[in-house]
Amino acid sequence: MSWTLCIDLGTSFTTAVIADEDGCKFVEVDGGRRMPSVVNVDQAGRLHTGRQAHAMAALDPTGAIRSPKSALAAGEHAVVRSRDVRTVDLVAAVLRRIADEAVRTRSSPPARLVLTHPAGWDEGGVRRLTAAALAAGLPDPSELYLSEPEAAACWYMHSAGQDIPLGSAVAIYDLGGGTFDATVLRRNHDGAFDFAGIDGEPWLGGQNFDKALERVILDNARHIDAGAYTRVFGSGWADPADAFAFREDVIRVKEELSTAQFSDVRVRGFPAAIRVTRGQFVEAISPDLERSFDALVRVVETSGIAGSRLAHIMLSGGSSQIPVISELMTQVFGRSPQTTSDPKGVVVLGAAAYGQLKLMEQQLHRPAAPQQVQVQPPAAGGRAGTPWYEKEAAIVGIGVGAIGVLGAILGAIDRHRSTVRLY
C-alpha cells in the first residue's frame, strides 16, 4: 500500500507519522515518539543521531549540534570540532534516521513526503530543508510543505471543524522548543475556514526558558553558599561534560516544575541541593511569556475578532504545558484553553491530515476507478461522546468526514498563502 511520510523537524525533538488510507501511526525511534533532534559529529566526521547522539554529547559535547533545525535556519554552514559542516547534511542525518525507522515497518519506501517548517522561515531555510530531504533519499516535499501553525490548524480543523460554531473563530498558541506562533482561524457562515491572522516570534521557545532557569539556579546557588558558588561556577565549566549534564538538569527541572511546585538540582562540587520554586521560574520567564501573549493578543485584534467570539483557544508545542500559560490565558480571554494529551503531536498529525487530504483531492480530480477513493460522508448531526480535544491524537482517522472538511481546509490554506503575509 502506498504511504506518506510526514515529518515535523523540531528545534529540540523531531516526530514523524506514517499516513496511509487506514489512518496514521507515529514512527518510533529508540522506543519513543519524540527523537531528540541533536546530531553528533564524531572525531572522524561521521554523523550520529537519536539516543546515540545524545549519549555521545553527554560525554563529549564539543561534537554536538543540539539543534540542526536552528543551524539550518541560520545558514549553510556550522562549525563543529573546528570542522566545517553543511547544515543540510546535519538535517539530512535526522530525516534519514527517522525515515529508516519508518521504512523498517513497511515493505516499500514512502511515495510522498510532507514536511513542516516555522512560519517565519525565509526561502533559504525552506530551500535548504528540501535539499536535506533529497540528500536523505526522500521524495521531493516541494508540493507538500506546510508551515507549523498551518499544520496545527489543519489538525484542529480536521478533528474539531464541525464543533466550531459558524461565524466564530479559534486561536492557536503554539510554543515549542525554539519558535512561537499565534494563529487565528475564522469559520465563515458558509462553514469554510479562513486564516484571519498569524503572528509569532521565530526565536522564542523552551530554549529561552532553559537559559532563564539557569540564571535562577545560579542565583540560588550563590545565596546558599557564596564561596562554593565561586569555586564551582565562578570561572565557567572546566569539563564540557559537566556543562552538558547541568543543562540537561536544567531542562529536567523546568519540565518537573510543570507538575511540581519546586525541584532540586545537584551539581558536582557544590555541597547542597539547589532548590528552585515554580514561582521563581515563572518570574524569570515572564518577559518571554509576555512577548508571546502580546503576539497572541495582537493577532486576535488585527484579525478583527473580538475575544468573545473566540470559540476556542488551543495549545500546541511542548512548552505550552507550562501551567501559567493556561492560567494567563484564562485571565486574558476569560476562558481556559484546550489542549491534547500530546501537544507536541499536533503539528505532525496536522501534516498527515493535510497530506492525505491533498492526496484525496488529486484522486477526486483524476478520472480514476471510483473504488480507489474511499471517503466516508460526514456524520449527520455532529459528533457524540468524547469531546474532540480530549481524543488521543493517535486515533484520529484521516478518512472520516473528509469530504466535508476537504474544501474547507485546503481552501483555507490556499487562500492563506495567497493573501496573508507571514510575519
318 binds, among Mg ion, ligand ATP, none (CB under 5 to 8 A by kind): ligand ATP
Per CB under 6 A, the list member of 69, 117, 128, 278 interacting with ligand ATP is: 69
Least spacing, CB of residue 60 vs ligand ATP, in Å: 22
Q: Residue 322, interface with ligand ATP (CB under 6 A)? A: yes
| Residue nearer to Mg ion on the CB measure, 172 or 216 | 172
Q: Residue 280, interface with ligand ATP (CB under 6 A)? A: no
Q: Residue 176, interface with Mg ion (CB under 5 A)? A: yes
Beta bridge partners of 146: 116
Least spacing, CB of residue 155 vs ligand ATP, in Å: 13
Q: Which three cell numbers stand for residue 385?
A: 461522546
Q: Which run of H or E residues covers position 103?
A: helix 87-104
Size of residue set near ligand ATP by CB under 6 A:
22
Q: How many residues does the chain have?
A: 423
409 binds, among Mg ion, ligand ATP, none (CB under 5 to 8 A by kind): none
Q: Which run of H or E residues covers position 36?
A: strand 35-36
Which residue intervals of 161-309 are DSSP H helices?
A: 206-224, 226-233, 240-256, 278-302
Q: How many CA atoms lie within 13 A of 359 on its CB side?
A: 23
The whole-angstrom separation of Cα 40 and Cα 58 is: 10
| Residue nearer to Mg ion on the CB measure, 19 or 175 | 175
Per CB under 6 A, the list member of 205, 337, 345, 401 interacting with ligand ATP is: 205
Q: Residue 319, interface with ligand ATP (CB under 6 A)? A: yes
| Residue nearer to ligand ATP on the CB measure, 53 or 360 | 53
Q: Residue 258, interface with ligand ATP (CB under 6 A)? A: yes
Rg over alpha carbons for the chain, rounded to the nearest Å, is 22
258 binds, among Mg ion, ligand ATP, none (CB under 5 to 8 A by kind): ligand ATP
Q: Residue 176, interface with ligand ATP (CB under 6 A)? A: yes
Per CB under 6 A, the list member of 186, 254, 312, 358 interacting with ligand ATP is: 254
Per CB under 6 A, the list member of 54, 117, 278, 344 interacting with ligand ATP is: 344
Identify residues 137-156 at the interface with ligand ATP (CB under 6 A): 148
| Residue nearer to ligand ATP on the CB measure, 317 or 401 | 317
What count of other Cβ atoms lies within 10 Å of the Cβ of residue 405?
24
Phi-psi region of 382 (alpha: psi -120 to 50; beta: other; left: phi over 0): left
Least spacing, CB of residue 10 vs ligand ATP, in Å: 2
How far lies 50's CA from each of 60, 388, 390, 403, in Å?
15, 32, 30, 38
Least spacing, CB of residue 369 vs ligand ATP, in Å: 40
The answer to whether the beta carbons of residues 148 and 174 sit under 8 Å apart is yes
Q: Residue 177, interface with ligand ATP (CB under 6 A)? A: yes
The whole-angstrom separation of Cα 19 and Cα 360 is: 13
69 binds, among Mg ion, ligand ATP, none (CB under 5 to 8 A by kind): ligand ATP
The answer to whether the beta carbons of residues 94 and 115 sit under 8 Å apart is no
Phi-psi region of 387 (alpha: psi -120 to 50; beta: other; left: phi over 0): beta
Least spacing, CB of residue 146 vs Mg ion, in Å: 12
Nearest Cα neighbor of 310 from 295, 318, 299, 320 is 299
> Using CB under 5 A as the criterion, which residues of the chain lie in contact with Mg ion when the complex forms?
10, 176
> Using CB under 6 A as the criterion, which residues of the chain lie in contact with ligand ATP when the complex forms?
10-13, 69, 148, 176-179, 205-206, 251, 254-255, 258, 317-319, 321-322, 344
